[in-house]
Amino acid sequence: MLEFTVNFLAATMRTATPLLIAALGLVFSERSGIVNIGTEGIMLSGALLGCIGSLMFESSLVGAVFAMAGGALLGLLFAFFTVTLRSSQVVVGFSLNIFAAGLTVTLNRLILNGVRVTSYPSYAIPGLSQIPVAGPALFNWPLLVYFALLAVPLSWFVLYKTNIGLKIRAVGEHPKACDTVGINVFKMRYGAIVFSGIMSGLAGSFISMGQLSMFVENMVAGGGFMALAVVVFGNYSPGTVLVASLLFGASDALKFRLLMTPVGIGFSQFMNMLPYVITIVALCFFAKRSNKPACSAVPYRKD
Amino acid sequence: MNSKAVQYSKSIGFPVLSILVALILGAIFITAIGYDAAFAYRSLFNGAFGNIHSFSETLVQTTPLIFTAVSYSIAYKCGLINLGAEGQLHMGAIFGAFVGARFEVLPGGLHILFVLACGFIGGALWGLIAGALKMRFGASELITTIMLNYIAFEFLSFAVTTEPFRDMTPGAAPRMTAVVEAVRLPILLPQTRLHLGLFFALIAVVVYYIFMWKTTKGYEMRVVGLNPNAGRYSGMNIGTNGLLAISLAGGVAGLGGVVNVIGLQPFLTEGFSNNFGFSGIAVALLGGCHPIGILVSGVFFGALNAGGIRMQLMAQVPAAAILIIQGMIIVFAVSRELFIYFGRTGKLLLPKKQAGGESDA
Amino acid sequence: MAEYVLQMKNITKTFGPVVANKDVNLYVEKGEIHALLGENGAGKSTLMNCLYGMFDSYEGDVYFDGELVNIVDSRHAIALGIGMVHQHFMLIPVLSVIENVVLGLKENKEVLDLKAAAKEFTELGKKYNMEIDPWLKVEQLSVGQQQRLEILKALYRKAKLLILDEPTAVLTPGEIDSLFDMMRQLTDEGHTVIFISHKLNEIMKICDRCTVLRLGEVAATVDIAEVKDRQQLASLMVGREVELETTTKPVELRDKRLEVENLCVDNDRGLPAVKNMTFDLYGGEILGICGVDGNGQSEMVQCITGLREATSGKIVINGTDTAGLNPGQILGLKVSHIPEDRHKYGMVGPMTLDENLILVSYKQEKYSSRGFLRWKWIAEQSESIIKSFGVKTPGIKELAKNLSGGNQQKLVVGRELERTPDLLIAVHPSRGLDIGATKYIQQQIVEQRDMGTAVLMVSTELDELIELSDRILVVYDGEIMGIVERKNASREVLGPLMAGVRD
């Protein structure tokens, strides 16, 4: 029983990590008034670029840098079209997904083709990881898992206690008012989108290099959209976003658990539906969140 | 020039410009990854328009795209973003394939109608779910439709591997039971795969036009889509209009799925959709949700699909590269400001006198 | 020789083909209250937005404190000591008062010290006798408090020149008096105030000098001391003699058209907005609803027209209890509704004029049969409505959003009056219109009354209400403070009632 619980918790953490990283980035861009459904595509690109970097330099660290750089670049593109040119965020995000799907498949066939790359190494916490049964499973993670957990209080502090956090929250609520007190709305939104792009890229690289050690076409499989749902479910706030990611991670862990039961094998497709169904259910019960910015997805025009 | 002519030239000029820019950037990309872009595009063009066979293949690809583009447009006109055409198409195909393989008691024509109706219902139900969740709980259809896509894929995966849906012929690959001969659509052009479905797609566009612009219900939907408050003010019901719109949208996408099954392969397999749902959205966006626009850009995207296969065969460029170009086309098509933006920057770079003369002209 | 704190010379600002300001000269002396007078659309706000750095570019020279400056963002304007209180407050409702105050300050440290800021802010508030709890959310403040917060926000940024854009529109007569007191206190301390308004008597009362804008150009700059009456200012503003009074025929009451009994309605946040209202309205009279914005007028009208449900009470229109009826069915009881915000409710901007003109009656036999619209017939009808209501447009296929504000309102009014209503509900019918369009719309409403229509008119313009209404119902905080007959209606009587004071 203990072993079951420990394994379940470990699986939860492992699947929750990329969601949490992406969602923490999205908290900032959503709060600044941007809805980026292209997150899916950015994560997919991050997954691919991470593997390419890792393959080329035989270093998962370089892979992470590749993934973040790619995320930043795609974020910049998204920002240019939606903030500067004021095109529909939904359409630009949608086409970003198509673009990324094409790009990753093309580059994958060209460069990777299912080759195994250096994955994120695990680091054990001295002492805690020595605990029998629970230790090795729960206190021995890739760095990104620790990073994701540390990023929760850090994001909270930045969002609620600092000057830049106040500006980000204000820009999503009433961009015009921000303009009248001398805040550059465009700069704030660019910054938030690029930051969110970096986090999404990093999250994608965890899917390919933290959960597996290879790239598989379309491996994100809706994870970007789930991250968006996690942000809504988590009421646009880092602490609750953590809880939401863990719940989503648990549903994924449950899926894998069920797939190993006799019923699960016969109805594997229905088990696979579980995370998607959970996402929908979560959205339904938590659609109207109090922290949703008033000017969400509305482009800002200066005059 | 009168303003109407300007408007028409803009509504054609900008999409064409978007395509050109995307193709140029695509060529740069293809060259950058080490292929011969000119050869790739030549084989793409030949694969799409080279002879009557390739052109008919283009039209075969166009057929489902028109259905899914109309699907996106109906919902869009009512203010909803339907990203779920892919899943609705899947559900339509599953419903249609199931019914098409049974009920042989019905006479041929009636059986086809029955199959089409079931495909419509399958898609409509899938759309209705997203609509109902939005109206009842306020769940964003952007995410729910995408999630419903994945669920539909799993349904198909289930249907092609499990009785009573799967084809039980010994040695058969995972697929649903073949539809009976009586419901298969006639081929329009001998020795090609071009089937009667294209004709159905054209009917769908015409019905879309008449419904949206000539009927009171269509008018209601457009008012609700453009300004829901004005709709409420004049006594329209936002909820029922939205539900109807997204159900119709799902139904039309479902028709696209079922038509592909009874028009092409008699078996429904996983991966039968060549990204039709998502490309259909691209078709609608490039065509501005306008009936004529949908037809023209439908043929264009059909050509990209058909030519892409040829391009992969001849020039070894992965067909997925077509998606890169597709993505760019959509983003440019909805970003008219882009060309104005660079036009202005370009003008600033020109010598001052010349720039001034231009604006005087 | 006066000392000018601000000189704006030959300012020109264009938006595409539209010239909003042309060669405007504005000279403001240190320590004065300078009025900027003009009709809606005369270019007052554009000029001030230029000064406040809301635009990327403008033509002309601006001298502030004697130095040539080129202000292209608000940060620069604030640094110079210019503060602006916009007509629509630039506050963020979900943030606290103090967060709003420090937002965007360039002195802010990366980690905010809100406690220190709150202390400083409280002291500033004490000095001007308008204390606000710095830890409240802005959405908890009343409109008057929000305006005071905006002024304090500017003073916190050390503003020397304060621009107030139509500040009295949201205030009761009593609050207006205390605003004026504060403006005097500020100028006594050496601050300068630019007061944007189109209300002549306020300008006569408070200002030292006045610059009048007409169609984007300066019509005159005058010393208020030398102006003999408001008629003179009005003529300058409009460019011709205007008749400020209209004459009305005596009332000829018909049958009861609207009966409101013990009505209670909640607002969007679930709080009571209309409390136990009871009144009647008869054919042939205009009942004015008077009160500062946000005292339950919107919720009351939404409830009468079926857009909002009552929590309790009864509404009877033309003898029919409207409980459970939807907006369409209520409009079907020969009710016409000129909504409070034509862009939001009254029209569909991206649709053509003829599509807009059938917005309410598209289902009627006249315009459609068996679910199909009769476009030919609709076009004919539309042409005739546009002609009879004087809507200026290139044609019925023009998009509604391309019309000017006045023509859009004529379009809405034309559509609603063409249905020959028994009950006309007009909410802020002249808001945002110039004098010509205002007069036209008011005349149409009076004609309806003379024809025997019952008119319910909601307005915040006291002059308009006093001039047109046969009876004025004053609301405060969702309650009826009193119903005043035409012969007794005056600012002095209505003012205290609007502020919730019953003697």
Q: Find the angle CA(B178)-CA(B181)-CA(B183) to the nearest 5 degrees.
A: 90
Domain of A18, CATH number, reads: 1.10.3470
Domains C4-238 and C246-334+422-503 share a fold: yes
Write the residue in A35, A110, A280 that is nearest to B147 by C-beta: A280
Q: How far is B111 from chain A (nearest CA, A)?
A: 30
Choose, out of A19, A43, A45, A87, the residue to mutate when testing the contact with B (most B CBs < 10 Å). Answer: A87
Q: Percent of chain B at pLDDT above 90?
A: 75
Residue A297 lies in a domain: no
Which range of residues forms the domain containing residue A279? Answer: 7-114+128-285
Chain B residues with CB inside 8 Å of A222's CB? 146-147, 150
Query: C485: which DSSP letter?
Result: E
Q: A166 vs C102: CB contact, 8 Å cut-off?
A: yes
C419 to chain B, any CB pair closer than 8 A? The answer is no
How close is the nearest chain B Cα to the Cα of C378, in Å? 12
Determine the average pLDDT of the residues in A46-53. Answer: 96
Chain A, nearest residue to C77 by Cα: A182
pLDDT tens digit sequence for A175-188: 999 999 999 999 99
Q: For A92, which of B33, B133, B331 is closest by C-beta distance?
A: B331
Distances (CA, A) of B331 to A98, B264, C209: 10, 32, 54
Q: Which fold has domain C246-334+422-503?
A: Rossmann fold (3.40.50)
Residue A209 domain-assigned?
Answer: yes
> Is there a domain that residue A300 lies in?
no
Whether the predicted pLDDT of A291 surpasses 70: yes
The token pair at A57 is 């330099």
Chain C touched by B230 (CB under 8 Å): yes
For residue A290, give how far its alpha carbon lies from the nearest alpha carbon of chain C (Å): 10
Q: Does residue B92 carry a pLDDT above 60?
A: yes
B232 vs C: CB within 8 A: yes
Decide if C109 and A163 are in contact by the 8 Å CB cutoff.
yes
What pLDDT digit, counting tens, does each position of C150-174 carry? 999 999 999 999 999 989 888 888 8
Q: What is residue C270's predicted lDDT score, i.e. its pLDDT? A: 85
Q: SS3 helix, strand, coil % of chain A, rounded to 5? A: 75, 0, 25
Check residue B353 and give its pLDDT. 40
Check residue C77 and give its pLDDT: 94
Q: Taking CB atoms and an 8 Å limit, are B327 and A267 in contact across chains?
A: no
Q: Does B93 touch chain C (CB under 8 A)?
A: no
Tens of pLDDT along chain C (503 residues) come to 468 999 999 999 988 778 889 999 999 999 999 999 988 878 888 999 999 998 888 899 999 999 999 998 899 999 999 999 998 899 999 999 999 999 999 888 899 999 999 999 999 999 888 889 999 999 988 888 999 999 999 999 999 999 999 898 888 888 888 899 999 999 999 999 999 988 888 899 999 999 999 888 999 899 998 888 878 888 888 877 666 566 677 778 889 999 999 999 998 888 899 999 999 999 999 999 999 888 999 999 999 999 999 999 999 999 999 988 999 999 999 999 999 888 889 999 999 999 999 999 898 888 888 899 999 999 999 999 999 888 888 888 999 998 888 889 999 999 999 888 999 999 999 887 877 888 888 999 999 999 999 999 999 888 889 989 999 999 999 999 999 998 888 888 888 898 888 76
Count other Cβ atoms within 10 Å, centred on residue C420: 12
Give B308-360 pLDDT, tens digit per residue.
Answer: 999 999 999 999 999 999 999 999 999 888 888 777 766 655 544 433 333 33
pLDDT tens for A90-140 read 999 999 999 999 999 999 999 998 899 999 999 888 888 788 777 777 888
Q: Is B328 on the interface with A (CB under 8 A)?
A: yes
Chains contacting C (3+ CB pairs below 8 angstroms): A, B
Number of Cβ pairs < 8 A linking chain A and chain B:
132
Q: pLDDT (tens digit, 9 = 90+) per residue, C23-65?
A: 999 999 999 999 999 888 788 889 999 999 988 888 999 999 9
Average pLDDT over chain C reads: 90
pLDDT at C245: 60
Alpha-carbon distance C108 to nearest alpha carbon in chain A (angstroms): 7
Residue A295, domain member (yes or no): no
Residue C301: closest CA among C269, C258, C270, C332: C258
- Residue A143 contacts B, CB cutoff 8 Å: no
Chain C residue at shortest CA distance from B234? C360
For residue B131, give the chain A residue with the closest CA. A284
Of residues B214, B222, B230, nearest to C346 (C-beta): B230
Among B274, B331, B338, the strongest candidate for a mutation testing the A interface, having the largest count of A CBs within 10 A, is B331
Q: Does A281 touch chain B (CB under 8 A)?
A: no
Domain edges within chain C:
4-238, 246-334+422-503, 345-419
Residue B181: per-residue pLDDT: 87
Instruction: Tell if the CB–CB gap between A287 and B325 is shorter than 8 Å.
Output: no
Q: What is the pLDDT of residue A135?
A: 77
Distance CA B33, CA A106 (A): 9
CA B44 to chain centre: 20
| Closest CB to C112 among A162, A181, A182 | A162
Q: Is B155 exposed, middle or buried (0-12, 13-18, 19+ CB in 10 A)?
A: buried
Q: What is the pLDDT of residue C54?
A: 87
User: Cβ of B342 under 8 Å from any chain A Cβ?
Assistant: no
* C54 in reach of chain A (CB within 8 A): yes
Q: How far apart are CA C264 and CA C277, in angstroms?
A: 7
Which CATH number among 3.30.230.70, 3.30.930.10, 3.40.50.300, 3.30.360.10 corresponds to the domain C4-238?
A: 3.40.50.300
Rama region for A127: left / alpha / beta (φ>0; ψ in -120 to 50; rest): left
Domain count across chain A: 1
pTM above 0.80, yes or no: yes
**Is pLDDT of B276 > 50?**
yes
Put residue C240 in one of left, alpha, beta given phi > 0 → left and psi -120 to 50 → alpha. Answer: beta
Spatial CB neighbours of C420, under 8 Å, sequence gap ≥ 6: C334
> Alpha-carbon distance B17 to B338, whole Å?
11
C4 in B contact zone (CB under 8 Å) = no
Residue B347's pLDDT is 61
For chain A, positions 262-281, list CB contacts with chain C under 8 A. none
With respect to residue A257, please indicate whether it lies within any of the assigned structural domains: yes
pLDDT given for residue B359 in this prediction: 35
Q: Do C90 and A170 touch (CB under 8 A)?
A: no
A301 inside domain? no
Q: Let me know if residue A278 belongs to a domain.
A: yes
CA distance C49 to A302: 11
